[in-house]
Chains A and B, each alone.
Chain A
Amino acid sequence: MNAVEVRNGYKFYGKEKDPKIVLNRLNMTVTHGSIYGLLGASGCGKTTLLSCIVGVKFLNAGKISVLGGTPGKKGSGVPGPRVGYMPQEIALTEEFSIKETIYYFGRIYGMSTERIRERYKLLKELLDLPPGSRQVGHCSGGQMRRVSFAAAMVHEPELLILDEPTVGLDPLLREKIWDFLVETTRTSKLAVIITTHYIEEAKQANCIGLMRNGILLAEDSPQNILSHYEAESLEYAFLQLCVKHGVSDEVHSKLQQISTISNSIAGDDKTVSTNEVKRKNSIESNDSNTACCTGVGDVDCNKKNLVKNLQITTRKRMKALLVKNFLQMLRQPAGMLFLTCFPIFQLVCFYVAIGGNPIGLKLGIVDDELGSFSECWNSSLITTHPYNDTCDLNKVSCRFISHINDSVAIKHYYKSFDEAYVDAKKGRVMGVIYFAKNFTQSMQDIRDEASYAAEGSFENAEIKIYMDKSDQQLTFFLEKKLMQTYHEFIEKLMGDCKYPIKAGNIPIGFKDPIYGSIDGVYTDYIAPGVVMTMIFFLATLITSTIFITDRLEGIWDRTLVAGISTTELLLAHIITQSSVMLMQCVEIVLLAAFIFDTENHGDNFTVILLLMLLGFSGMLYGLFISIFCDSHTMANFMATGSFYPMIILCGIFWPLEGMPIYLQYISFLLPFTLPSIAVRDILAKGWGFSYMSVIAGYSITTVWIVVLLILCLIGLKIKK
């Protein structure tokens, strides 16, 4: 029984028509209790072969059996606790301490804490690891490699796969690792596959496979190879083989050559197996045939145990993954700061900067009615002299001027209109208010004579306002305020004259609004949208960064080989992110409600739930991005590229009703258009689940979540 058998392994990348062949009808045999050195230059297909053995990738054709099962199948335990894998990269979470790293992998493999502790102690001594509390990120390169090695060994796997474990290691350490491997394989059934492109160090292996361009040039014990090629060093032997094999990169075009070589390999094979058998006899004292039979039985038992194990350990593995995610987050102070403070910072910026009433605007005032403005400040000035049925007015413009208080604008008094107008032109004042010379008389004339008043009176009784309307928001504000001032002014005047108060106004009465207030603030209007976009994109950003980092650093692969399914990995991330999201939501809601006094007429729970859901879909969106983008830059472009259009289209800056109708439909489909309407309705109108808009908000979010989730799963499948 062999630990690993690959028969006719064939794998290509790219299109079927124009395949880039990586494994070309490759055969490989690894026996139990031996070290197999897989040698070859980078790019020759080593890593692909290992990925296939470990069950992370699949062959296009051919058969692989690992420890008696087909990798990737249920119950085979591969990927899973039966193999240990040490990738080429360090592939460790830098934020972990050494002890936590070992425990993390132990938990993933479903080991009991007791057992992990034992193994950890053993490995620590064996590999001379630094103190357990040191963070991996603070270790030296050699130490990190040793930790990585220990992580692959915690669970005493039956098959250990080491992808270039000795690259750049100190000679002492390298010797130690090899000694350890030789020792363990001699005393146990452990099979080790070790790759390296440095050929010489593989001398200590029991069997060597020389790989080039997707095929094994030779598979034999080092001694045999040396003698076969009459070479002093393996290096030289490999060189000879390569020369024989030909320089060309395009292997598939040279099938002839391959067949000749594989013939020669077939010849070698016999020697290998006999050799191995001899070795085995000395170790296990039963010959290879019986070993094979018992091996099969073993596998069956193992399978049952494994299935049991898997069920029990899922919780433990979940725990491991969750602990990992949280620690990873907590140990990054900058990241934590970003997570917790950034929402607050943004929200504060938003509330403080947006929607406040403009203050300190300047208005020029020209009053031809008065000799000088000091007349107005004369306290003895009486502007109304009511008699029985009539009322004489005197310098009413003063009344109006005094009604304009500083919260509206700061008044600048000018002697002449031209002077004021020039200043307005230069942008020193926002506008000019002008009262004609006989303003009061004209007013009185119109009041008394109504439609029979002199033509000039109408002209003169007007308060003329010349505005700089280049800034729409300021214009709106000033216009509104001046109209209000006028209303106050005329009502007061009518009151003082003992006339009906309403007589001076146009007959439109704005009653108390049904929702909101007449003096509604811009902040309340855009707050829901802003909060939502913030939550959504924070989630997107963080998730995509974490995932891409994980993948780039090889942590993802390593975890997969440890038998964690993609779904579990996703679930763990989703849980972690959700809790972060919850924190952020609560933070934002508290801040908005208590510090900035955003009124909520509805149910807090409904709001928070919707925000959470939205954050969740933002997270999935980040996941989606990270699946389809290979680099941070690409992900960045994707996120930014979608961010701006969504903000513009979601109706937080301007009501949807102002868009062309087809654009409205598109924008309804976006993830925060309907939800922000829903939140606005909940906050301002106090609506609940029985209302259409709230339901629509919830359902569009749910639809997005489902769609994104499906896309993510499909994407992951395709990528595999």
Chain B
Amino acid sequence: MDAENQHQIQRPKVKKMFSWSDDAPTIPVESSEQTIATIDDGGTQWSRPQNAVSVRHAFKTYGPKSKPNQVLNNLNMTVAKGTIYGLLGASGCGKTTLLSCIVGRKRLNSGEIFVLGGKPGTRGSGVPGKRVGYMPQEIALYAEFSIKETMMYFGWIFGMQTSEIIERLHFLLNFLDLPSENRLVKNLSGGQQRRVSFAVALMHDPELLILDEPTVGVDPLLRQSIWNHLVHITKAGQKTVIITTHYIEEARQAHTIGLMRSGRLLAEESPQVLLSMYRCSSLEDVFLKLSRKQGQQQQAASELNISNNISLSALAFGNKKDNPVYISQESGVIGLNFHQSKEVLISESNNGSTYGLNGSTPALPAAQNQSAIECDDCGVDCCNLTTRGKIRALLQKNFLRMWRNVGVMLFIFALPVMQVILFCLAIGRDPTGLRIAVVNREMNASGECKYEKGCSFSNLSCRYLDHLNSSIIQEYYDDVESAKMAVAQGNAWGAMYFTENFTDALVARIVLGRDADDETLEQSEIRVWLDMSNQQIGIILNRDLQYSYRTFAQGLLEDCDNNPKLGDVPIQFKEPIYGTNEPSFTDFVAPGVILTIVFFLAVALTSSALIIERTEGLLDRSWVAGVTPTEILFSHVVTQFVVMCGQTALVLIFMILVFGVTNNGDIFLVICLTILQGLCGMCFGFVISAICELERNAIQLALGSFYPTLLLSGVIWPIEGMPYILRNIAVGLPLTLATSALRSILTRGWGFMEFEVYMGFVATISWILLFLIITMVSLKLKQN
């Protein structure tokens, strides 16, 4: 009884909010006049004004031409305006494909479809767009959104004003008994989610409402109220509803039922007619009967039995080839024609509430016309307005999704920072604490190694050892064998050996110069055995030992008032043209690391974005709402761009300011190039998600491409070290030229005009374009 009360309270509101009611001036109403207008614009077909949807001779196949998978097989369908059309059939019978075609998501191989007087997918038809409302089978809502945000999103896409949306939202919340508008969709129960999904389809009060299994798994009460509502809105004859279900019985309340099986309509009738025609008590039985018939027919070599209703398609198929469409149509529909016209009659008289649906008389035509004209106007400038609204909606969607997802947020902003910090801390610093086993025969027994400063020639070995870099730890051994053993055991990275009269021999060597004999030379030599198994450490030790000898010799000579250069090798590396005297590995890899971090984060973020939207049915929904692939891509690009700016800022701040990676160039160029690389990564992500059907494949592709790119792009090893052919390939990769450009900017301080720098920019931009083109093409291909 409570429910009934509520219902009564609700009714006036309901009236107010829906366009069939007389006193709702704010809500735009579309009437048949208006549709006429649009159709005249299109100017193609104007034969069946009373039909909201008509499908003629529809053929659609999937798969290769040689082995086609027939989904729609010469299907004819007529949905009269202002009726509920129940499309029934098992899953896989082609229902969803048919709906996709009606809505303009897919195209037929052959045949014609007219929706609201126009061809779906053509300009000005409004389909896909705001004239249709679509509720997919899946929930197809963004789990991270609140109810209000969801409604805002779709409202904006339909080009509605914010105030209008709010009004509508409150009405729908009440009407569908939804909880607080601030609840997140993912926290709602299944039934509530379905109701939200339904509300979204009703949002803009469309002329044609397409519901794909709205009642699956829904509570009986809710199911009842959904049907009540549908009956209600079609009453005025302006709204049309197509509803699919595989639960046949509930379709009793529809005005017309289409029974579909393996790509054809077995029958298209009102439920009452069907029941009486086949003398069955339930629609279920009717369908069963029809199915059996079709089954038998197929067995009988699919030859036609014209007297039968079912064979109309078969017959039409036979005639189809050369004859003009109309003829085959007329001849094919003999059986149905009669019923069809009857059905039309019913639907027309429907306005006068034949079905006894608590009929309030239809709205005043005059009022309707007026509002219709209003809407016509707004429809025109909607075309300009909507794009803005749509983009706004799409952007809000992208950001909210990211924002509400803690894991993603962490991934976006914490990961790059962590990577940069780890990189700067871990890579490129001079190794410290390297042990060297020293055998010094000059040392006295006490084990001390003393020498005198100034020009004194005693214990020079000790003086040399003192010059050794502080990062090298010296450990003394008694004899060469044990020192070498220590290296062999891995206790030291190298062994050094000074002979007993190293000092004397060295002095003699310097003084005598070319006249020194072999023994002197032999004795004056410091012998070194290194462990070169760790190449980086080996090289560093090698370099350090030589450098410290030079400083040692120069210091000694200077103290003795000799020219210090006497002790030096006459090969001098002068002040470098670019870079510092001791180039660091960090500076070398840093550009590559910056770019790979930004690039692959973007890939990881976007590669699954489209796929997730697709698998959850969200893409379809947005598509039907009239959003084009370009708009979706654009919104992602903008979102990603903002994210990229944040990431770039973080990465660069940490790299350059905190860890002091050398930057001699224009910081603006650095930022530009980094952001461009991020965009490039994003576009690569798009390519992946446009090509891959499954999320896991996308992930494998994204992760799989990471290592090869890292290796081949000259990030950790100069591409000059690659074989010639590979080098050419490497140059073609998106990261290679950009890395060397960034390196040039950072260390050489080059400006944009230098060849290497602008090549980096050119390469990046052309990769972005290439990726975008590939994405667009494959999205287009998928749509058809």
Contacts and interface: CB of A to CB of B under 8 A. Distances in A.
Given A462-B572, A541-B703, A632-B695, A167 B91 contact: yes
Most A C-beta atoms less than 10 A away, residue of B511, B514, B531, B723? B514
A116 B517 CA distance: 94
B696 A349 contact: no
B524 interface: yes
Nearest to B584: A472
Nearest to B434: A657
A349 B3 contact: no
Given A247-B3, A509-B528, A525-B534, A353 B722 contact: yes
Given A472-B584, A511-B529, A640-B600, A465 B574 contact: yes
A141 B69 CA distance: 13
A513 B722 contact: no
Interface string A487-502: 0000000100101101
B338 interface: no
Interface string B738-773: 000001100110100011100000000000000000
Interface string A444-486: 0011101101010011011111111111111110011011001
Contacts of B754: 426-427
B571 A483 contact: yes
B572 A520 contact: no
Interface string A592-635: 00000000000000000000000000000000000000011111
A255 interface: no
A445 to B, nearest CB: 12
A525 B535 contact: yes
Interface residues of A, number: 148
A242 B720 contact: no
Interface stretch (B29-37, B216-224, B348-356): B216-224
Interface in B574-602: 574-581, 583-585, 587-589, 597, 600
Contacts of B426: 648-649, 651, 654, 658-659, 663, 667
Contacts of A140: 92
Most A C-beta atoms less than 10 A away, residue of B192, B408, B422, B431? B422
A172 interface: yes
A578 B531 CA distance: 35
Contacts of A635: 699
A447 B512 CA distance: 10
Interface string A299-315: 00000000000000000
B700 A465 contact: no
Contacts of B216: 42, 167, 197
A411 interface: no
B3 A507 contact: no
Contact of B726 (A199, A352, A476): A352
Contact of B526 (A466, A467, A507, A660): A507
Contacts of A468: 576-579, 748
Given A172-B288, A463-B572, A645-B422, A471 B718 contact: yes
A469 B581 contact: yes
Contacts of A645: 418-419, 422
Contacts of B220: 41, 199, 235, 238-239, 242
Interface in B710-749: 711-712, 716-723, 726, 730, 743-744, 747-748
Most B C-beta atoms less than 10 A away, residue of A44, A355, A469? A469
A516 B536 CA distance: 12
Interface in A505-522: 505-518, 520-522
Contacts of A167: 91, 216, 246
B430 interface: yes
A524 interface: yes
Contact of B432 (A212, A352, A657, A687): A657
Interface in A692-710: 692-693
Nearest to B719: A353
Interface in A629-665: 631-637, 639-641, 643-645, 648-649, 651, 653-660, 663
B198 to A, nearest CB: 14
A469 B579 contact: yes
A338 B92 contact: no
A354 B717 contact: yes
A297 interface: no
B553 interface: yes
A691 interface: yes
A430 to B, nearest CB: 9
B518 A345 contact: no
Interface in B383-435: 407-408, 411, 415, 418-419, 422-423, 425-434
Nearest to B88: A171
Interface residues of B, number: 151
A509 B577 contact: no
B659 to A, nearest CB: 12
B577 A421 contact: yes
Contacts of B726: 352-353
A345 B533 contact: no
Contact of B90 (A169, A507, A548): A169
Interface string B670-698: 00000000000000000000000001110
B365 interface: no
A521 B717 CA distance: 12
Interface stretch (B230-238, B541-549, B640-648): B541-549
A171 B429 CA distance: 73
A211 B577 CA distance: 82
B190 interface: yes
B191 interface: yes
A233 B249 contact: yes
B532 A520 contact: yes
A681 B291 contact: no
Contacts of A641: 411, 415
A494 B513 CA distance: 12
Nearest to A345: B708
A655 B532 CA distance: 13
Contacts of A467: 573-574, 576-577
B443 interface: no
A450 B508 CA distance: 12
B287 interface: yes
Nearest to A635: B699
A359 interface: yes
A507 B608 contact: no
Contact of B490 (A200, A453, A461, A681): A681
21 contacts: A44-B219, A142-B92, A175-B288, A200-B249, A233-B249, A459-B565, A464-B572, A464-B574, A469-B581, A475-B576, A483-B571, A503-B513, A507-B524, A511-B527, A516-B532, A632-B699, A636-B703, A649-B422, A653-B427, A653-B716, A657-B432
Identify the 7 closest CB pairs spanning chains A and B, nearest first.
A168-B91, A42-B217, A516-B532, A657-B431, A469-B579, A43-B190, A684-B533
Given A506-B568, A513-B531, 15 more contacts: A247-B221, A249-B189, A349-B707, A427-B744, A462-B572, A463-B572, A465-B572, A466-B575, A503-B514, A507-B506, A508-B526, A515-B488, A643-B703, A649-B426, A653-B716
